[in-house]
Amino acid sequence: MDDPEREPCLWITEHLTPYGTVSHGVKQLYASKQTKYQSMIIADIGPYGKALVLDGRIQTTTGDEYLYHEPIIHLPSLLHGRPKKVLILGGADLGAAREALKWKTVEEVVVIDIDGDVVELCAKHLPEIAQDSADDERCKLIIGDALKYIDETDEKYDVIIGDLTDPIENSPSIELFTRSFYEKIKQCLNESGVYVTQAGTISLQEEKVFPRVANTLKTLFKEVVPFSSFIPTYGTPLGFLVSSDSKLVINLTPDEIDEKLDSNLHKGRETLRFLDGTSFLGLFGLPANVRSSIQSESIVYK
């Protein structure tokens, strides 16, 4: 019989900086594979449940994924008001699709992820995250390259979600955070469309990418609003950026936001674990030094 107090003999250790790490002990290993694109592990890491790990970085866990998926979907959807067509770039675990499908107005959710092996193994080992998303007739899953898709599609979307890998300078991932990429994103948006992307840590001691991504978006969109959410298994607060050429109205009261959630979501707020009017407003409370860094940043990823 397993001893629940026994110290794990296998650990997943992720470097946040060359000098700092975050580690999680493994209770059970469900899958380990080198795909065409990346190494992947799905493992039970104890208090946070089952985790998807790609190239040594935790992407999501069953224990705290809602702290990521709820804001990345519902915040831009609330700011848009009545999204009908949603495009999710990345999102192999279908957690973002699950949240988008809660909207009464949503008629189509397209998820495009390049790694079919990750999609398949998430469906097998992480069904708690996707739930019944794949069976919803409004959901279309495409195994393909997000860059190629937005370059070739004639479709227009109300909300586009950048559920992408972390932006890391001098790595291939930064290509998804450049002005040239965002120009293509903008072409895929409807006139009042909204784009949101996760953009790395807001801890400036660890990384300077977040204000640079913000500044890059500001060269194309009239409105760029930063927000953040703390997902414990990431070990650092994660930054997001929501952008549009339409006015992004965030100065609502908690009661106004609660009413919008209740009237626009199937079953209202009872399906949400994190987001309500109070937490929605709290997402925008970035530290003063981060806001100042965004204002003073001059670098643009081209």
Instruction: Select which of 163, 166, 255, 276 is catalytic.
Output: 163
Angle at 64 between CA 139 and CA 66, to 5 degrees: 35
Distance CA 247, CA 261 (A): 19
Structure-token pair, residue 77: 């959807």
The alpha carbon dihedral of 41, 28, 97, 76 has a sign of: negative
Strand (E) positions, 128-286? 139-143, 157-163, 189-201, 223-229, 238-244
Distance CA 261, CA 222 (A): 26
Candidates 140, 127, 133; CA nearest to 62 is 127
**Active-site annotation holds for 163:** yes
Structure-token pair, residue 54: 């790609």
- 200, 211 in Cβ contact below 8 A? no
Helical spans, DSSP H, in the chain: 66-80, 95-100, 116-125, 127-130, 146-152, 179-187, 209-218, 254-264, 277-282, 288-296
Active site residues: 163
